[in-house]
Structure 1
Amino acid sequence: MQLSIMAIIKAENGQISDKVVILGNMERQKTINSYLNNVEKISEYAGYYTYTGEYNGQKITTVFHGIGIPSMALVVDDLISAGAKKIVRFGSAFSVSENVKPGTAILPIGYSYNFGGVFKQYLGDSYSIALTPDYGMLKAEEEKLSRTGIDKVVGNVFTSDALMTHNKQFAEKLAKDGNIAVELEGAGLYFIAKLKGVQALSVHLAYGNLVTGETLAADKINEKEKKISETLLNLLSQ
């Protein structure tokens, strides 16, 4: 029987794992899927793809979540309705700190965000919510990344609603306010997960640095994303 009240994911009962990796880049989703056995496409709707496979004997679902917080919120809400309990997001980001070089794995201990939109519609005028990850997942992933040789950093990240405003001056302001990177969706994951009581974690690969202008070469992106993909699958299947 098809699950009801699903905005994006069209799935039958039991087709979605309680352990999920969500991604905003289809090539990155293909990378994750390449490590899974018995991969099956569960849903394809409006450009959103959902697959379920196996890793270390555990069922894992991967989902393309689109771009921006509203898209992210729809997908995460759908997944939780389908039974997801642990959701990991693997995304990209741009550093706003001179100390965080391209190629660094960024683990957000919290997200800053523009209050309004999705947040205001869920919360009304009551209060804001601290957007934090599941601490156990954060520590476990930090340990796994330590064994890959990839530089890593834990810190606060800003989720932006307007990519085209990301200039050097904007980056310097974000850094002054205590952020180490900027991206487009992560706050949406931590927000919905917090409201619905499920475990969540984001990991970002820094593609570049908005202050120094440095960027990561395509071959290095591919190499590091493969390593990070394995750590996330091991995290979910442990």
Structure 2
Amino acid sequence: MNKSLIFYNRIGFLTLLHREIHRFMKVYVQTILAPLLSSVLYLGIFGGMLQTREVGIEGVNYLYFLVPGLATMAAILSAFQNPAFSIIVQKFQNTVQDLNSYPISDIEKALAFILGGTFRGLLVGSLTYLATTFFVGHVIQYPLLFVLSLTITSFIFASIGLITGLLLDSFEKMNFVLALIITPLTYVGGVFFEITKLPGVLSKIRYINPIYPLVNITRYTYLGVYEGNLQLQLLAATIFIIGFFLAAVYIFKKGYGIKID
């Protein structure tokens, strides 16, 4: 068999994918319910305090503006954490080298970890939306595109999570990336307020913030309105999904964080 094929061993690939999904489903209180509760609290606090706040997008209530941002943020954080945590746990247990002996291709290994994170991100993001319906009702313009947008967002950040897990060797370093890079980028990425309302240089961060176009695309699928140039944001999302996936596969193939020197 040619290991350069994408699906060299379908059964092995599905087994690894099942393991990744089963791993976080076993502790669903931490991996699903906790981020879901956090999103609902965000909606309750920000929505309750700022529900009369005017949004720069005409005809949009602040609560409706907030929902797609929260769903996207929940998907991003969950998708990132899943493969990053999984790889670093295996490093901590000194079992990560076992990945070298799996009879599946490097693409299959990387894809299994990424799809496991994608599933978790999509699940938490979708449940976040469903939870918000108790507050704002079933307001959604393009349901299938909404799910697709959350899926793409989750895939991108699951790829980033895999890269992080491979390159870093401790939970402290992973949490540094999560707490001091990804989380702040969500706060200035249009989750809670329009980017145009940010003062000075903060409003320019959107040009280098990968979270902003993803939040805006999800908001469009939810409300049918958006900020900025949607076509450029779709192009950016396409570049992100291809670029980060290929980077994750390359790093996995090179054995960074897996092979013993």
Shorter-chain TM-score: which interval?
under 0.3
Q: TM-score, normalised by structure 2?
A: 0.26
Of Structure 1 and Structure 2, the greater strand share is in: 1
Q: TM-score, normalised by structure 1?
A: 0.28
